[in-house]
Structure 1
Amino acid sequence: MNLNNIIASNLKRLRTERQLSLGKLSEICGVSKVMLGQIERGESNPTINTIWKIASGLKIPYTSLIDEPIKTDILIKKEDSTKQESPDKKYRVYCHFTSNVNRNFELFTVELDGNSSYESNSHGEKTQEYIILYRGQLSLTVDNTNYILNPGDSIVFDSSKPHSYSNLSDDMVQMALINYYLV
């Protein structure tokens, strides 16, 4: 898709989402109604300054107008997710969604075999980890505090600190894990 078409599509979507007429958007951003209409129809090659005026008027990042929108419907099968394993292969992480410009979190499915544990280092400053346990019993240690999670339990914690997961039973632990990056 060419840049003019991307800008046209983004501008129309953003204006419609905000329920703005071309006239009202013109008042907000200081770009003529005629020019805005031409941009939305892909008939105009807007200047950098024009794009900045529109972005400032809408109070959005400049790149919201020039970046191709990310598809909203994304299906990832487990076999297509990125799999990583601990050296002993007892801890497996399946990455379903990575963080990007429009997503400040990562989503994983995690499996921890029976009678095993895994040590995790800091995920960096200003990070949180969310866990929902689906199967088994998980012993989670964060900052010298131990938590026991049973199926259906969830927890959020400061993952900038080292933490460890332990499965004290014979059954596999299965959980969803989200790493959230605070901005």
Structure 2
Amino acid sequence: MHDTTTTPPEIGPGLQAARKARRLTLEQLAQMSGVSRSMLSQIERGEANPTFAVLWNLTQALGIEFSELIAGSSVLHKPAIGVMSAEQTPEIVSGNGACRLRILSPMQTAGESEWYAVEMAAGGTLVSAPHQAGAVEHFTALSGAFSVRSGREERSVAAGETARYPADVDHAIANVSGEVGQGILVLLYR
């Protein structure tokens, strides 16, 4: 016989561990999340089953993911080294498929700093419109040969070399070799 009953995850221990790890009182978390102190206390003791909206408010106030809230005491032991698999790494592919950018930077740094692994087909070009004022790009060629253009200036970049240039003007990176080229692109906003 198949048991169809399931036990919901215990939210209380995770909530309490996350709150205490941040040295917050019930009152402080109540103010931050908009969830009443009495409801927080009931959730921590396992006497209340919170709605999705309540869980959302709590995770936002604590700056954690739902999975961390459900994980209980493991919230206190977040690994120092996070690893993102190749399948989880977002990528951008140009319309013609000649250029692939794998986004290596965490999403929370977008608009401050971004870095990408670049793979470009022979003869491929990555053309970019100006970024915000003061933006600078750093392109390091790992293999192949490239040409980098920023505004009206253009320079050759061989494997192992790094070009640093204004990115608040029209700019482009072109693979001028006869093979697939690879590089690292870092964009810094000022």
TM-score by length of 2: 0.59
* Cα RMSD, aligned residues only: 3.1
Q: Could you say what secondary structure the match of 1:100 adopts?
A: helix
Q: Could you say what secondary structure the match of 2:108 adopts?
A: coil
Which of these two proteins has the greater Rg computed from alpha carbons? Answer: 2
Give the aligned partner of residue 106 of structure 1. Answer: 114
Structure 1 residues 105-139: Cα deviation after superposition (integer angstroms, max 9, x where no partner): 22211111112322111222332212221000110
Q: Could you say what secondary structure the match of 2:87 adopts?
A: helix
**Runs (5+) with no aligned partner, structure 1:** 11-39, 52-64
- Higher mean alpha-carbon deviation, 65-74 vs 159-168, is at 65-74
Counterpart CA distance in 2 for 1:46 and 1:101 is: 31
Give the aligned partner of residue 9 of structure 1. Answer: 21
Give the aligned partner of residue 105 of structure 2. Answer: 97
Q: Could you say what secondary structure the match of 2:26 adopts?
A: coil
Q: Could you say what secondary structure the match of 2:81 adopts?
A: coil
- Matched pairs, number: 136
Matched ranges for 1:165-176 at <5 A:
165-176=173-184
Structure 1 residues 69-96: Cα deviation after superposition (integer angstroms, max 9, x where no partner): 9965222233332122111111111112
In structure 1, give the amino acid aligned to 2:147: S
Matched ranges for 1:56-95 at <5 A:
66-68=62-64, 72-95=80-103
Residue 118 and residue 126 in structure 1: after superposition, are their counterparts in 2 closer, same or farther (change >3 A)? same
In structure 2, give the amino acid aligned to 1:157: Y
Q: Could you say what secondary structure the match of 1:89 adopts?
A: coil
**Runs (5+) with no aligned partner, structure 2:** 1-13, 33-60, 65-74
Structure 1 residues 46-85: Cα deviation after superposition (integer angstroms, max 9, x where no partner): 548xx9xxxxxxxxxxxxx953499652222333321221
2:168 to 160, 173, 181: 160
Structure 1 residues 16-50: Cα deviation after superposition (integer angstroms, max 9, x where no partner): xxxxxxxxxxxxxxxxxxxxxxxx4x6x33548xx
TM-score by length of 1: 0.61
Counterpart CA distance in 2 for 1:76 and 1:177 is: 19
Identity of aligned residues (%): 13
Give the aligned partner of residue 26 of structure 2. Answer: 45
| Deviation at residue 103 of structure 1 after TM alignment | 8.7
